Amino acid sequence: MPPGTLVLAATPMGQYGDASPRLAAALASADVVAAEDTRRTKALAAALGVTIGGRVISYYDQVEASRTPDLVAEIAAGSSVLVVTDAGMPSVSDPGYKLVAACVEAGLPVTCLPGPSAVTTALAVSGLPMERFCFEGFAPRKSGARKKWFAPLATEPRTAVFFEAPHRLADCLADAVAVLGPDRRAAVCRELTKTYEEVRRGTLGELAEWAADGVRGEISVVLAGAESTPPSVADLVGEVNELVGGGTRLKDACAEVAARAGVSRRELYEAVLAAR
C-alpha cells in the first residue's frame, strides 16, 4: 500500500471466497487497520491466510468522530490506513464517511478496493429495473417517522434500496403498504451471499403478509419506482394558455405542449377552444 493514503476496502458479506486478492494484500501491508469489529476482521484475515502486519484499532459508529482526527494525522505523517467494516463497503451505512471527508478536506489521498455491496447485490437479484436507483439507508425505527420517510417514495420514479432490521421488517412493510399502497412491487433480500440466502419478490401487500410471521437475518429491501401517470389533455390547457399569453400562436403552443407531454395535438387544440 502506498504511504500516506486512506484505503477503503469492501469485505465479504458472508463468503470469505468473495474477498479480493487486493484486500488480502492490504490487510497484510497497511500500517493501520481501522476495523468496525476487530474480532471479525482478525477472523477474516485468518480465513484468508493473512497475517495483519500493522496496528489494528476499532473504528465503529460510536468512536468514529473521536478517532478520525488521529487517523488523519497518521495519514498526513505517511502512514497507510485501511478501513474495513463487518461486511460490504465502508461508508455505505457503515463507518468511513467522516474519515473520507476529513482526508479530502486535508488534501490527503483516498482510494478504494472495490468488492461486495449489499446495495448493488440486492438490486441485481431483485428482478426490478436498476438503470436508475437511489439508496435510502436504514428505515427509521418508529412508525410515524417511517411513514413520513416513505411519503417521498410515493412519487420517486427510481428503484429504491434500503436496509431494515429483521425484527422491524413486518412493521416496516405494513407502513409501506399504508403509504405506498399494496400493489407496489418490491423484493426482500435476506442473508445475501450466505448459505440461507433468500429473495422474496412480489407486491408490498404480499411481502407484508409473508413477513408478519417473522423474518431473520440481514435484510435489504428493493422497492420499485413509482409509475408515472401521463397528464390528461385537460391538465395541459393552462400550459397552452400561458404560452399564448406570452405571444406564441395558439396552434404552435398546442404543438409544443402536445409534443412534450406525448398527447394528441388535435385533442389538445380542441380542449383549449372548448375551455374558452
Instruction: Choose one of 97, 116, 135: the last residue of a domain.
Output: 116
| pLDDT string in tens for the chain (276-residue length) | 677 999 999 999 999 999 999 999 999 999 999 999 999 999 999 999 999 999 999 999 999 999 999 999 999 999 999 999 999 999 999 999 999 999 999 999 999 999 999 999 999 999 999 999 999 999 999 999 999 999 999 999 999 999 999 999 999 999 999 999 999 999 999 999 999 999 999 999 999 999 999 999 999 999 999 987 767 788 899 999 999 999 999 999 999 998 888 888 999 999 999 888
Is residue 151 domain-shared with residue 207, that is, in the same domain?
A: yes
- Same-domain pairing of 99 and 67: yes
Q: How far is Cα 59 from Cα 68, in angstroms, rounded to an integer? A: 9
Shared domain check, 216 and 155: yes
Which of 39, 18, 205 has its CA nearest to residue 113?
18
Residue 228 lies in a domain: no
b/e sequence 162-192, b meaning 16+ C-beta within 10 Å = bbbeeebbbbbbbbbbebbeeebbbbbbbbb
Write out the residue range of the structural domain in which residue 267 sits.
234-275
Among 116, 143, 168, the domain boundary falls at 116
Domain with 173 in it: what CATH number? 3.30.950.10
DSSP state of 91: T
> Would residue 32 count as lying in a domain?
yes
Residue that is last in its domain, among 59, 86, 116: 116
Are the C-beta atoms of residues 3 and 78 closer than 8 Å to each other? Answer: yes
| Domain shared by 151 and 191, yes or no | yes
- The domain that holds 102 is classified in CATH as 3.40.1010.10
Identify whether residues 109 and 140 lie together within a single domain.
no
Does residue 59 share a domain with residue 19? yes
Number of domains in the chain: 3
Does residue 229 belong to any structural domain of this protein?
Answer: no
Q: What is the distance, to the nearest Å, from the Cα of residue 78 to the centroid of all Cα atoms in its chain?
A: 33
In a domain, 80, yes or no: yes
125 and 212 housed in the same domain: yes
The H or E element spanning position 55 is strand 55-58
Name the 3-class secondary structure at 24: helix
Contact 95, 11 (CB under 8 A): no
Kind plus residue range of the DSSP H or E element containing 72? helix 61-76
Query: Residue 231: its pLDDT value, please?
Result: 75
135 and 160 share a domain? yes
Based on the domain organization, do 15 and 112 belong to the same domain? yes
Is 186 inside a domain boundary?
A: yes
CB atoms inside a 10 Å sphere around CB 102: 18
> Within this chain, do residues 259 and 194 fall inside the same structural domain, yes or no?
no
CB within 8 Å of 166: residues ≥ 6 apart: 190, 214, 215, 216, 217, 218, 219
Alpha helices in 4-50 (DSSP H): 21-29, 38-47
Is 46 in contact with 69 (CB distance < 8 Å)? no
Give the integer Cα–Cα distance in Å for 122 and 128. Answer: 10
Domain-embedded: residue 266: yes
Q: Are 182 and 255 members of one domain?
A: no
Considering the domain architecture, whether residues 219 and 249 belong to the same structural domain is answered as: no
The count of other CB atoms within 10 Å of the CB of residue 141 is 12
